[in-house]
């Protein structure tokens, strides 16, 4: 089950700083997660004399699990869309999923009808999107175009450099952000 969620791993309870990690891929949902978390901390600080502080870090997605191995006396919070697996459930405390995430293929509404022949499909390198593309290309003649981040991929779709892009279903929020 893949869901948009927040993973919380709390270390010593006396800590006053929360190390907040989020992907640097440019997904608008990560920005929303960060904003929600900042508001939660602000509400906490209004009600309590002991204040919490947030150090925000933007990191590559593949670095997410390395964060938990860091030696710190602070709280650690990671906001990221992750697939909840049996193995991960044994190691990490997941929040309750609140937005189901599915991989989708997006095209511009103005795109001509395409028959999937020689189609350029964009995905983020070293991500689930790339795995989805590799599975699809086994049955369709597609040209993959890898990107280092979501914003570059979305811009390529808007510019017509690619015909389709693979992304999470919530990626549609990012397109509205650009208008």
pLDDT digits (tens, 9 = 90+) for 15-71: 488 888 887 776 667 777 788 888 988 999 999 888 888 888 888 877 777 776 666
Choice among 56-60, 128-132, 174-178 with the minimum mean pLDDT: 174-178
Query: What's the pTM?
Result: 0.59
User: 94 by DSSP, 3-state: which?
Assistant: strand
Instruction: Report whether pLDDT(166) > 80.
Output: yes
Kind plus residue range of the DSSP H or E element containing 47: helix 28-47
The 10s digit of each residue's pLDDT in 137-155 is 998 889 999 999 888 998 9
User: Which residues lie below 8 Å from residue 166, measured CB to CB, with a gap of 6+?
Assistant: 103, 104, 105, 106, 121, 122, 123, 129, 132, 133
Tell me the CA end-to-end span of the chain in Å, nearest whole number. Answer: 32
Instruction: Report whether pLDDT(133) > 90.
Output: yes
Q: Which residue shows structure tokens 């650690």?
A: 76
What pLDDT is attached to residue 70?
Answer: 64
The 10s digit of each residue's pLDDT in 74-123 is 566 766 666 677 777 787 777 766 566 678 888 888 776 666 666 899 99
């Amino acid at each position: 089950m893949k869901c948009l969620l927040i993973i919380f791993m709390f270390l010593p309870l006396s800590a006053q700083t929360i190390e907040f990690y989020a992907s640097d891929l440019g997904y608008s949902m990560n920005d929303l997660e960060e904003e929600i978390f900042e508001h939660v901390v602000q509400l906490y600080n209004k009600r309590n004399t002991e204040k919490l502080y947030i150090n925000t870090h933007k990191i590559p997605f593949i670095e997410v699990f390395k964060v938990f191995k860091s030696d710190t006396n602070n709280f650690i919070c990671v906001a990221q869309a992750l697939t909840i697996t049996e193995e991960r459930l044994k190691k990490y405390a997941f929040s309750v999923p609140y937005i189901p995430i599915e991989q989708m293929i997006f095209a511009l509404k103005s795109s001509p009808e395409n028959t999937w022949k020689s189609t350029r499909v964009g995905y983020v390198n070293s991500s689930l999107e790339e795995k989805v593309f590799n599975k699809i290309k086994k049955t369709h003649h597609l040209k993959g175009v890898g990107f280092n981040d979501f914003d570059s991929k979305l811009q390529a779709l808007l510019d017509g450099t690619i015909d389709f892009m693979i992304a999470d279903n919530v990626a549609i929020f990012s397109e509205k952000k650009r208008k």
